[in-house]
Chain A
Amino acid sequence: MTRLNKMLAAMAVSFLMIAGAAFSHDHTLPAMESGGALPGTSIYNLTSVWTSSDGKAVSLKELAGKPVVIAMAYTSCKDICPLIVADMMAIEDQIAKQNIHDVQFAFASIDPEHDTPERLATYAKEHGLDAAHWMLMTGDAKAVRLLAAALGVRYRRVDATTIDHSTIITLIDQQGSIRFRRLGSGDDLVGFISHLADVARALP
């Protein structure tokens, strides 16, 4: 780089900095909840729009206010997904025995091509998932990618009918921050349930 170029570059940079300072006040801040800003660690900072099994557009933020137990899977999965859902149902049962009922369960599909809202609805029915506590949702590829990234879920399409993916079940608190993760389907649920109970009993 010649000296002249460097000087021009320097001028460009100073201009950018001045411009930045001048323009920065024109920008509106990201939308805030009336109840205050979301914590920086909240997954509700993700603004992707999903579609629920009843065909409604939903943002993750609509889950805020309750503890959420969320997993990413897909309905045509024969191997591990039924176990993930079975584990979530077991969590639902056991937490109910502790008289905790206000917990949201969420199933986010990693197979948006095949998991239409109708299919999710059928799946919920077949598995007897209580619509009052369960949200099944599907989104576009980007929504899936970003949520998976935020939850640390790894997935990869192996062939037309198979997607390998992590079996993580995540506990999210009322504001959307991750509080606990159950990594493998073989782990028992005791730790998860005790963390969930703590989160549910804390004042929102």
Chain B
Amino acid sequence: MGSAVRRMLNLVAAITGSLFPVFAANAQTDQAWPLISAGAYVAFFSPSSSKGKVPQSKPIVVKAFAMARNQVTNTDFLRFVDQHPEWRKTEVKAIFAERSYLQQWPSDLSFGAVGLVQNPVTNVSYFAAEAYCEAIDARLPSTDEWEYALADAGRNQKSVAQTALNWLAEPNHASLADVGTATPNFYGVSGLVGLIWEWTSDFDSFVTSTELRATDGKDSAQFCGNGGTGVKDTADYPAFMRFSMRASLKANYTLSNLGFRCVRDL
């Protein structure tokens, strides 16, 4: 039944999506910032309310927005730190980024090898990603927006899941591929899965369990998948992984396979 419902919702999403571009007539969208048309999708995980009600997988309505085709690259980020010295690796405040921030860059204003110009920038904290997007009049996508763009109105999802699975199955690469090499999805967004993890603006909103109200109050109690209740599709392993990945992050964390892309309101 679950998959039938999903197919229907995907259809609804596709239809609403195709109805909405009217609103996007004067939007600043182009190949670099493809339009993600409005629609609805069912989040991977619907939090049960604090009152312990049975979680319901209600579709979430997502407004149209523009999403960067690619992740932010080393070149992009170098331009940013050049203009915003407070985000250089030797200048950044400890509260905004842990020590491994940009650790792969040999110095403040160099990311090293020329071959890395189109590599996604990684080892960037949430605060740095926020500041970058703001500096280009954009913002980080919400988790809903990000997942909605990946869901691609239900198109080609088998292949998306396979790409994600393959990536998860591989050990960490010594080097990353360039951004934009993956075939874009139907919206025109490339490489949402298969290259790096990406920050979302509300990565820290996933308070998954009512244990928060339990007496031990330990952080670890917050990171449990709540026994799988409230999960849309328990077979969607990559979605589980993204979910737990986000739940495990803190805003000053930096990882060698965690970067970001920005979105813009229309």
Interface residues of A, Cβ cutoff 8 Å to B: 1, 6, 9-10, 12-13, 16-17, 19-21, 23-24, 27, 29-30, 38-43, 45-46, 79-80, 145-146, 148-150, 152-156, 158-159, 162, 164-167, 183-187
From A41, A45, A79, A164, B207 is in contact (CB under 8 Å) with A164
**Interface residues on chain B, number (Cβ under 8 Å):** 43
CB of B265 closer than 8 Å to a CB of A:
no
A residues less than 8 Å from B86 (CB atoms): 30
- A to B CB contacts below 8 Å, 20 in the list: A1-B178, A9-B114, A13-B75, A20-B78, A24-B85, A29-B85, A38-B93, A40-B93, A42-B93, A80-B212, A149-B204, A156-B202, A156-B206, A158-B50, A164-B207, A164-B212, A183-B219, A184-B217, A185-B217, A186-B214
From B94, B117, B213, B218, A9 is in contact (CB under 8 Å) with B117
- In contact, A20 and B82 (Cβ under 8 angstroms): yes
- In contact, B217 and A183 (Cβ under 8 angstroms): yes
From B49, B85, B93, A162 is in contact (CB under 8 Å) with B49
Q: Which of chain B's residues has its CB closest to A24's CB? A: B85
Instruction: State in angstroms the CA–CA spacing of A156 and B142 once bound together.
Output: 12
12 more A-B residue pairs beyond the given contacts A9-B117, A149-B127, A156-B47, with a C-beta to C-beta distance below 8 A: A13-B75, A17-B109, A23-B82, A27-B83, A154-B204, A154-B222, A155-B205, A165-B212, A167-B212, A183-B219, A184-B217, A186-B214
Interface residues of B, Cβ cutoff 8 Å to A: 47, 49-51, 75, 78-79, 82-83, 85-86, 92-96, 109-110, 114-115, 117-118, 126-127, 130, 178, 201-202, 204-207, 212-219, 222, 250-251
B residues less than 8 Å from A24 (CB atoms): 82, 85, 109
Q: Which of chain A's residues has its CB closest to B110's CB? A: A17
Most buried by B among A10, A20, A40: A20
Instruction: State in angstroms the CA–CA spacing of A188 and B249 once bound together.
Output: 27
Report the number of A-B residue pairs with Cβ-Cβ less than 8 Å: 125
Most buried by B among A12, A13, A23: A13
From B50, B96, B118, B216, A79 is in contact (CB under 8 Å) with B50
